[in-house]
């Protein structure tokens, strides 16, 4: 009996529990809300919002305001300085460092012990449980897992309190038994210099029997490229013959799929999407034939949603999970055992099913272009680029876009800065196909593009090799979970990149 055959028995009870997600979604969420409110009733936040009187969802929505990071920042900073029982019971020692807000370079998301176990690690466990359920012949545990992580550093001067990438927090606290089936070694995984880390990971894993990968597609691709350089091989399965799955998340996989398929040519290679963030672990691709993900409903996360056509208005509609509709774009709110209450996470999702609750990530509440009423979202961009690549044989590695605002004649356009791993033979054709597909996908964009009256044909600027990595390195964000914003109403980021592209 292989090790995987033995270990898979451990996951059978959880696989049975997960079946409730397909029939009892509302009940699971009501149970989570009751648990969270009861647990936090004696915290400062719980007392201020009379958690002890909350009997159900309606009370909760009435008593607790919708929050962004700015509303919770002062409380989180007190927690970081060692104060107890503020947003969650006890002292929270870990803080996941995430990309910043308008006012701050970084956000510091609390990660309580309960959140670590009941959200983040539970997500990782369920990822394996669902994968093993779908693939009976898997040999996942007969080799090693290559897991990419970030780094961490001390939190102020508080003893045993640290801040860092969520992945570093997970690796730092992982069950020691897990280290028997993962690479690289812990000291390497937590290095802060990504270029040094990349090289060491490649050297440490080159001769190991790696069966699975976990990480952000862009950074994993960089590591695998170094592995190929060292090995001198053409395809990854020549280095790791038993490689079988890549558990990926953090950024959309579409721009990278073609490159992975060229790097790993074995026909039975699998890709499983996960939705994990600094704030929590939210979704898993439970069906290999369906790109949408199952919303995980029995973790310490209670979900609410704001229709995007109301987001940013004075009194937007907020609905619990059982109030969502398929095909509608929503901003997601979460309440968790890390002390985030009705927190606007910044991601947008669209449900493809409500029985069970399955969804796709469509973008970010702030990462869109709506300078001229076109409401272009990341989901439109990903699908448009995928179509243009499919038609021309091009491959997109990284991109960002922003508006070019109206000139004296009232003309404006979108400017796309794209780094290709394989440039199209005819950039003009690529541009035309891309623009046409965006019009098909987005009626508002199509209306603004009508006869070039307002919005002109999009402009594509080809980025030099490694431009985006150089920009991230300059910002001190190379590696980990950092990424360049795809779409923005502001030209701040694209102008910085364009200036670097001239060198």
Q: State the average pLDDT for the chain.
A: 91
**pLDDT of the residue at 20:** 97
**Is the separation of the CB atoms in 189 and 149 below 8 Å?**
yes
pLDDT of residue 22: 96
Question: What pairs with residue 329 in β-bridges?
Answer: 350
pLDDT recorded at residue 455: 85
Q: Within the chain, which residues score under 50 in pLDDT?
A: 101-103, 408
The CA distance from 220 to 270, in Å, is: 15
Q: What is the pLDDT of residue 283?
A: 98
Report the C-alpha gap between 370 and 362 in whole angstroms: 15
Determine the pLDDT at residue 378.
86
Residue 132 CA to residue 272 CA, distance in Å, equals 12
Whether the Cβ atoms of residue 380 and residue 367 lie closer than 8 Å to each other: no
> Are the C-beta atoms of residues 378 and 368 closer than 8 Å to each other?
yes
Alpha-carbon span 300 to 88, nearest angstrom: 12
Q: Is the dihedral of CA 12, 167, 378, 326 positive or negative?
A: positive
260-299, pLDDT tens digit by residue? 999 999 999 999 999 999 999 999 999 999 999 999 999 9
- Cα distance between residue 107 and residue 473, in whole Å: 19
| SS3 readout for 334-387 | EEECCCCCCEEEEEEEEEEEECCEEEEEEEECCCEECCCCCCEEHHHHHHHHHH
For residue 70, CA distances in Å to 102, 109, 304, 309, 333 come to 9, 12, 19, 23, 15
């Amino acid at each position: 009996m292989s090790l995987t055959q033995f270990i898979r028995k451990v996951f059978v009870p959880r696989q049975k529990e997960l079946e409730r997600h397909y029939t009892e979604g509302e009940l699971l969420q009501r149970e989570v809300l009751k648990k969270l409110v009861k647990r936090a009733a004696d915290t400062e936040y719980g007392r201020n919002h009379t958690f002890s009187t909350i009997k159900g969802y309606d009370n909760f929505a009435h008593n607790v305001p919708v929050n962004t990071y700015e509303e919770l920042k002062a409380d989180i900073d007190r927690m970081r300085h060692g104060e107890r029982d503020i947003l969650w019971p006890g002292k929270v020692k870990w803080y996941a460092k995430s990309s910043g807000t308008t006012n701050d370079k970084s956000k510091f998301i609390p990660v309580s012990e309960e959140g670590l176990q009941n959200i983040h690690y539970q997500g990782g466990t369920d990822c394996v449980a669902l994968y093993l359920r779908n693939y009976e012949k898997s040999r996942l545990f007969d080799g090693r897992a290559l897991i990419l992580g970030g780094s961490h550093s001390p939190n102020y001067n508080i003893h045993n309190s640290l801040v860092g990438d969520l992945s570093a927090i997970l690796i730092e606290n992982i069950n020691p038994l897990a280290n028997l089936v993962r690479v690289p070694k812990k000291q390497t995984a937590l290095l802060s210099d990504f270029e040094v880390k990349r090289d060491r990971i490649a050297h440490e894993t080159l001769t190991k029997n790696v069966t699975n990968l976990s990480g952000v597609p862009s950074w994993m691709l960089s590591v695998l490229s170094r592995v190929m350089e060292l090995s001198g091989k053409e395809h990854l399965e020549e280095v790791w013959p038993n490689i079988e799955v890549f558990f990926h998340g953090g950024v959309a996989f579409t721009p990278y799929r073609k490159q992975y398929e060229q790097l790993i040519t074995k026909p039975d290679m699998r890709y499983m999407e996960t939705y994990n963030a600094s704030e929590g672990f939210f979704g898993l691709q439970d069906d290999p034939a369906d790109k949408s993900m199952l919303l995980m409903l029995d973790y310490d996360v209670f979900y609410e949603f704001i229709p995007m056509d109301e987001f940013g208005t004075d009194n937007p509609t907020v609905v619990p999970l059982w109030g969502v509709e398929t095909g509608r774009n929503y901003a997601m709110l979460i309440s968790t055992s890390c002390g985030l209450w009705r927190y606007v996470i910044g991601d947008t999702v669209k449900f493809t099913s409500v029985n069970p609750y399955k969804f796709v990530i469509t973008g970010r509440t702030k990462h869109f272009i709506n300078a001229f009423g076109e409401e272009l979202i990341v989901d439109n961009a990903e699908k448009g680029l995928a179509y243009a690549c499919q038609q021309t044989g091009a491959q997109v590695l990284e991109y960002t876009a922003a508006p070019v605002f109206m000139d004296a004649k009232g003309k404006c356009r979108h400017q796309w800065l794209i780094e290709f791993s394989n440039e199209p033979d005819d950039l003009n054709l690529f541009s035309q196909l891309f623009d046409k597909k965006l019009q098909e996908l987005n009626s508002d964009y199509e209306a603004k593009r009508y006869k070039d009256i307002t919005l002109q044909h999009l402009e594509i600027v080809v980025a030099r090799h490694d431009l985006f990595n150089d920009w991230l390195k300059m910002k001190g964000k190379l590696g980990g979970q950092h990424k360049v914003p795809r779409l923005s109403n502001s030209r701040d980021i694209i102008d910085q990149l364009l200036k670097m592209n001239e060198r």
